[in-house]
Structure 1
Amino acid sequence: MRLSSASILIGTFVAAAFFALVAATFTARALERTSADGVRMELDIGGLEWTDVSANGLQVEITGVAPSEAERFRAITVAAEVVDASRVIDKMTVAASDSIAPPRFSIEMLRNDEMLSLIGLIPASTDREALLDRLRALPGLTEVSDLLETADYPMPESWPITIDYAVAALRKLPRSKISLSAGRVAITAMTESVEKRRTLENELRRDARGPVRLTLDISAPRPVIAPFTLRYLVDDKGARFDACSADTEEARDTILTAARGAGLTGDARCTLGLGVPSPEWAEAVSAAILALGRIGQGSVTFSDADVSLIAAGTADRATFDRVVGELENALPEVFALHAVFPDQTEAAPKGPAEFSATLSPEGQVQLRGRVRDELSRKSADSYAKSRFGSEKVYFAARLDDTLPEGWSLRVLAGLQALSDLAHGSVVVTEDRVSVTGDTGNKDASADIARILSDQLGEGQEFRIEVAYREKLDPDAARPPPEKCVADIQAIQKARKINFEPGSATVTADSRPILDDIAEVLKFCGPLRIEIGGHTDSQGRETMNEQLSQDRADAVIAELRNRRVATGGFVATGFGETQPIADNKTEEGREENRRIEFNLIDAAAESDAATDLENQPESGAEGSDGDQPKE
């Protein structure tokens, strides 16, 4: 039986379709295996071994328990890099949140004067608005940028006390960065001086309580030392520094190590400062100090790059020559050495020339001895009177035209050195300037050494025996700022600062009050004080505000005329906005017209109501009713 051509054609198409279906099935299964294997490999490479991958047609199913929502999302992202994202089927679950460790809560507080930025992560249970209100109330802050994020996890136990400490510390640090986490606070800040840094560090450590662990990095600008001076001497009393300067802590350690090798015992004060003449300062100074130690007694003085080494009369000449030669070769090129060996063969002069200046504890100065000529006498007399006061100087020196050249310069340098003492004396001879006495300045010896080395020049011998007495230190003896302001307010309770009616001119009877206030302020030293002017409610509000401002400015000007340091004073005119009595009575208006002295920090910390209740009843008299109130 013969098949028709139609049957043959149909059979051919059926067979082709069957073989195509079989091939497509095998291809699809191969594609499934390839996709699943590729995704599984990438997940393993990415550290996502907790996942399981299977293929369902062209779709890739991912199952498993993700440790966090972020890890689940990462698994989906990795899979989408291998196959199209539409083919990825997410059947993963996320581990229960209570089994996941809470995040690390932290805040970065960045303050630049009046601006504060907050960056970090805080517990959702933190009273965010209360924290921001506390920060906005800090003195000097005008803007707080809140960039904090929250997470709904339990608040660490030490979190509240850490926040409290950081906010309190921020009050004292107008320019700082405070990094805090639960129980830990790291502070980076800058202060105006080394003394301020020490005080601030002590206060911050004292206030750190309970579980708060504190890390401090507070810096202070270094002083400019000009000339850059160092003086080291060895005599019958032992080895010591009259002045010591270094540019780095490493340089200071190098210098002190050399000094101890040359006989120094005990502690030594070495000031870190700017102005070093060479980066090889420490090496040059160390070499010179060790050279002096080999010679024996004498002194070595650095004034910038000028070096003077003076041996004592007991030194051996051969040793001196050998050591000086070695030192000249060891010193860096920028340093110039001038070495002096005393001439022991020269006969002692008859009737040695001498000039002496004595400063008594009461401030009286007596000048005796010899000066070279009339011009020198006038110069010394004028200089002493300008330094110590015209009425306190007694000049009894005589003229001697045989005195050596440079005598007048030595006399003036000695008087300048004497002005750094509370009491003491200066003796000028042909071969030496000697300064002895007591001072309340810890750096007086270094300052005097700097003056003498700069004024006398190289090769000139001088001796400094100055003792620091804490009772003479004005900073140590000064009362706290609160006591100073309380004393001023006590003066104002008994007497009032009055002004001419409708003006900012202080009346004559108020000048003694300002004299007394000025004496208090001079004894207290530099303070940050707000001098507030207040008026009654009579007259225009804007006019009263301007009048109060003018009066506060006038008080600062009066104090400045009395030689009070007013650099930290601020004059503020409050006008009629802060009455302390009833403006409907003459007595009340009289009380409202007043001048107030307040510490700036104290005023900023108190709210307006408490401040008004506690202000002393002090005022400025004068008519404020220039025009009727509109």
Structure 2
Amino acid sequence: MRLSSVIVLFSTFAIAAVLSLAAAWFSVDAVEDTSERAVRTELDRDALTWADVDTNGLQVFLIGTAPTEAARFQALSAAGRVVDTARVIDQIDIIDTDGIAPPRFSIEMLRSDSGISLIGLLPLATDRDQLIRDISRAVPDAPVSDLLEIADYPVPEGWDDALEYSVSVLDDLERSKISVEAGRVSIKGAAESEDARRRIEADFARRAGDDVRLALEITAPRPVISPFTLRFIKDADGARFDACSAPTEDARAQILAAAGAAGIEDKIDCRLGLGTPTNEWGTATAMGIEAIAALGGGSITFADADVSLFALEGTDQNLFDQVVGTLEADLPKVFVVNATLPEPPPEQPVGIPEFTATHSPEGSVQLRGRINSEIARQTADSFARAAFGSSSVRMTARVDETLPATWSSRVLAGLEALSRLSNGAVVVTPDSLAISGNTGNQNASSEIAGLLAEKLGDAEEFEINVTYQEKLDPLLGIPTPEECEAQIVEIIGDRKITFEPGSATLDAGTRDIMDEIAELLQLCGDIPLVIAGHTDSQGREVMNLQLSQDRAQAVANALRDRRVLTSSYEVRGYGEERPIASNDTEEGREANRRIEFKLRQPEPIPEVETTLESIEQSVPTGETDGGAEGQSDEQN
């Protein structure tokens, strides 16, 4: 009886143990399945199809080969969102990165009033410290914030050229963003004026050469155009603009659309500027262009609020009245229209009076024909000499007092317009004024149209035929600073810049050489030029030093008098301390008395030593030898 009770009790515990084990096994199996499904669902949601899941009890194994370390971390994070991270076992491999392409190296150079910030990724082989030093030399007064990262990959082709070019132009724009990539540089910035923008763009493109692909986005404040002018012509030669100005992009679009409908097929350059008399300028000028198209031809000039319309000879009177009447009614009230329908001219007698001025490519100016008084003749001659140079003008016009009273003012307006061209001619007749020629200024036609409209008034008809030639554009032929230095050497040649003995007064014989140097430097623009004066060893050293400084300053003043911008020039006097020949002979002393022109070189940054002796010592700096020099042959 007692034995049966023990057996029953033991059997009960055995059955309970078996049932517990079975329940635990099914529970673990259920947890494994649930965890595997949940983790797999989360991996699929993150598009991590390369990862797989396996379970063993409560443990969750992540297996597979991740493309990157970041992808591996993403898979672990996905599993951790649905199960306890302590249960996740990482068995993920990562693809061998030896064959992975290098990252895209790039730098953003951001320059503002507060300094320069560098943001981007550099190759390890690029000398980061040297880059910071180069930038500090290029822009000495701007603090540099270094936010660069480094990656150990080979330097891509074209990277060094692009980086060197970017540093070289960093000082030219006070506010800019320069984006550097291998072989490519993108520059965004702001210039002070439209002329400065064109000069900067031409200079940047020239300096980039063939090694760097350059993208420029330089903005400039809109110029003030006075008078605000638009002149549209349609005749036997086709439709064209002599001048086109617009206050906004929308107004320019209206003008270009009207011009296209009127027959202009070529690309139109319509300047944006300030000074419009009304916000409805685009609408008004489009109406004027449409009126000329409706008449079948003619010209219309908007000069501020004054509108001058000339129909073609032979235009039907009724059509003229209808078109002009509609234009006057539709134009904003601020505009005043002066419309003219030319009458067929009577048969002209032989010898129509005219005044002609020609400006040759070599620079000579011929004034001939007729002028209405001796005072007007002298005035025209004086004006031409002031505009073109006294030695270039030859006046052969004769006085004819029967000419109209307005003849003199039209002659002067024509001469002023001619002075805007590199070469050309102006012809004044009783009924018209015509100017033609070549120029290196893309805006010359617009500027001349505005000038003539302002000087001649609404009732005068004029014709402009000006051709822009790239070879005459000074902005497209700017020599480099190094080329300027070399060309000064060529200009000086065997000649000398001389002074009166013992003084800083330039000798009269140096006028031609100074004129030639000034003409070159006007083209070179703002370059870091040093004008250095030297003497021989005769006399006291202190006096020689002062004399050399005064002579160098006299040369700078002479250049400034010739309209050379010398703000970036540096004047230095070295006295007798830098001879180039022996002072024991007259020939050597003559060689040592000289003026040198050379580019200012950046001073090298010395190696920093930490010894007390090196700290107490000063490091002398000097200029490199060479450069363009002009000698003087007088005594100190």
TM-score by length of 1: 0.71
User: Aligned partners of 2:418 and 2:394: how far apart in 1?
Assistant: 13
Describe how 1:492-531 pairs up with structure 2 within 5 A.
494-496=495-497, 507-508=504-505, 510=507, 512-513=509-510, 516-522=513-519, 525-527=522-524, 528-529=526-527, 530-531=529-530
Matched, 1:164 2:161: yes
1:615 alignment partner in structure 2 = 627
From the superposition, tell whether residues 567 and 13 of structure 1 become closer, same or farther in structure 2 (CA, over 3 Å).
Answer: farther
- CA contact 1:189–1:218 (8 Å) conserved in 2: yes
User: Aligned partners of 1:447 and 1:534: how far apart in 2?
Assistant: 43
Give the letter aligned to residue 194 of structure 1: R
- CA contact 1:118–1:146 (8 Å) conserved in 2: yes
Residue correspondences, number: 591
Deviations 1:351-390 (CA, angstroms, capped at 9, x unpaired): 999885746653365695447x99x999878766754678
Q: Which region of structure 1 is more displaced relative to structure 2, 615-624 or 59-68? A: 615-624
Q: 1:47 aligns to what SS in structure 2?
A: coil
**Aligned CA-pair RMSD:** 5.8
Cα displacement (A) at 1:436: 3.2
1:317 alignment partner in structure 2 = 317
Cα displacement (A) at 1:408: 7.3
- CA contact 2:107–2:122 (8 Å) conserved in 1: no
Cα displacement (A) at 1:35: 5.4
- CA contact 2:162–2:181 (8 Å) conserved in 1: no
Cα displacement (A) at 1:317: 0.6
- CA contact 1:107–1:118 (8 Å) conserved in 2: no
2:425 alignment partner in structure 1 = 424
1:194 alignment partner in structure 2 = 198
Give the letter aligned to residue 210 of structure 2: D
User: Aligned partners of 1:235 and 1:49: how far apart in 2?
Assistant: 72
- CA contact 1:358–1:426 (8 Å) conserved in 2: yes
Cα displacement (A) at 1:569: 4.2
Cα displacement (A) at 1:320: 0.9
Q: 2:315 aligns to what SS in structure 1?
A: coil
Describe how 1:343-382 pairs up with structure 2 within 5 A.
356=355, 358=357, 362-363=364-365, 365=367, 368-370=370-372
Q: 1:242 aligns to what SS in structure 2?
A: strand
User: Aligned partners of 1:497 and 1:139: how far apart in 2?
Assistant: 36
Structure 2 gap segments, 5+ residues each: 3-11, 607-620
User: Aligned partners of 2:50 and 2:540: how far apart in 1?
Assistant: 79
Cα displacement (A) at 1:207: 0.6
Q: Which region of structure 1 is more displaced relative to structure 2, 382-391 or 305-314? A: 382-391
2:9 alignment partner in structure 1 = none
Q: 2:226 aligns to what SS in structure 1?
A: coil
Matched, 1:302 2:314: no
Give the letter aligned to residue 513 of structure 2: D
From the superposition, tell whether residues 475 and 179 of structure 1 become closer, same or farther in structure 2 (CA, over 3 Å).
Answer: closer
- CA contact 1:595–1:620 (8 Å) conserved in 2: yes
- CA contact 1:135–1:167 (8 Å) conserved in 2: no
Give the letter aligned to residue 43 of structure 1: L
From the superposition, tell whether residues 604 and 286 of structure 1 become closer, same or farther in structure 2 (CA, over 3 Å).
Answer: farther
Q: 2:365 aligns to what SS in structure 1?
A: coil
1:450 alignment partner in structure 2 = 450
- CA contact 2:122–2:150 (8 Å) conserved in 1: yes
Deviations 1:387-435 (CA, angstroms, capped at 9, x unpaired): 46789696975778x967x887656544533443546345364xx4413
- CA contact 1:437–1:466 (8 Å) conserved in 2: yes
1:106 alignment partner in structure 2 = 105
- CA contact 1:110–1:177 (8 Å) conserved in 2: yes
Cα displacement (A) at 1:319: 0.9
1:43 alignment partner in structure 2 = 43
Q: 2:158 aligns to what SS in structure 1?
A: helix
- CA contact 2:410–2:428 (8 Å) conserved in 1: no
Matched, 1:461 2:473: no
From the superposition, tell whether residues 46 and 546 of structure 1 become closer, same or farther in structure 2 (CA, over 3 Å).
Answer: farther
Q: 1:525 aligns to what SS in structure 2?
A: helix
Q: 1:508 aligns to what SS in structure 2?
A: coil
Deviations 1:213-235 (CA, angstroms, capped at 9, x unpaired): x4623446365432232222344
2:339 alignment partner in structure 1 = 339
- CA contact 2:550–2:573 (8 Å) conserved in 1: no
From the superposition, tell whether residues 415 and 494 of structure 1 become closer, same or farther in structure 2 (CA, over 3 Å).
Answer: closer
From the superposition, tell whether residues 584 and 47 of structure 1 become closer, same or farther in structure 2 (CA, over 3 Å).
Answer: farther
User: Aligned partners of 1:311 and 1:32: how far apart in 2?
Assistant: 95
User: Aligned partners of 2:235 and 2:398: how far apart in 1?
Assistant: 33
User: Aligned partners of 1:61 and 1:298: how far apart in 2?
Assistant: 87
Cα displacement (A) at 1:452: 1.8
Q: Which region of structure 1 is more displaced relative to structure 2, 564-573 or 66-75? A: 564-573
From the superposition, tell whether residues 137 and 29 of structure 1 become closer, same or farther in structure 2 (CA, over 3 Å).
Answer: same
1:435 alignment partner in structure 2 = 434
Q: 2:241 aligns to what SS in structure 1?
A: strand
Percent identical among aligned pairs is: 35
User: Aligned partners of 1:81 and 1:575: how far apart in 2?
Assistant: 78
- CA contact 1:546–1:573 (8 Å) conserved in 2: no
Q: 2:445 aligns to what SS in structure 1?
A: helix
TM-score by length of 2: 0.70
User: Aligned partners of 1:381 and 1:367: how far apart in 2?
Assistant: 13
1:228 alignment partner in structure 2 = 228
Q: 1:436 aligns to what SS in structure 2?
A: strand
Deviations 1:474-515 (CA, angstroms, capped at 9, x unpaired): 8499895666544533527642555987xxxx5335453365
Q: 1:160 aligns to what SS in structure 2?
A: coil
User: Aligned partners of 1:285 and 1:445: how far apart in 2?
Assistant: 18
Give the letter aligned to residue 495 of structure 1: K
User: Aligned partners of 1:589 and 1:109: how far apart in 2?
Assistant: 54
Q: 1:207 aligns to what SS in structure 2?
A: coil
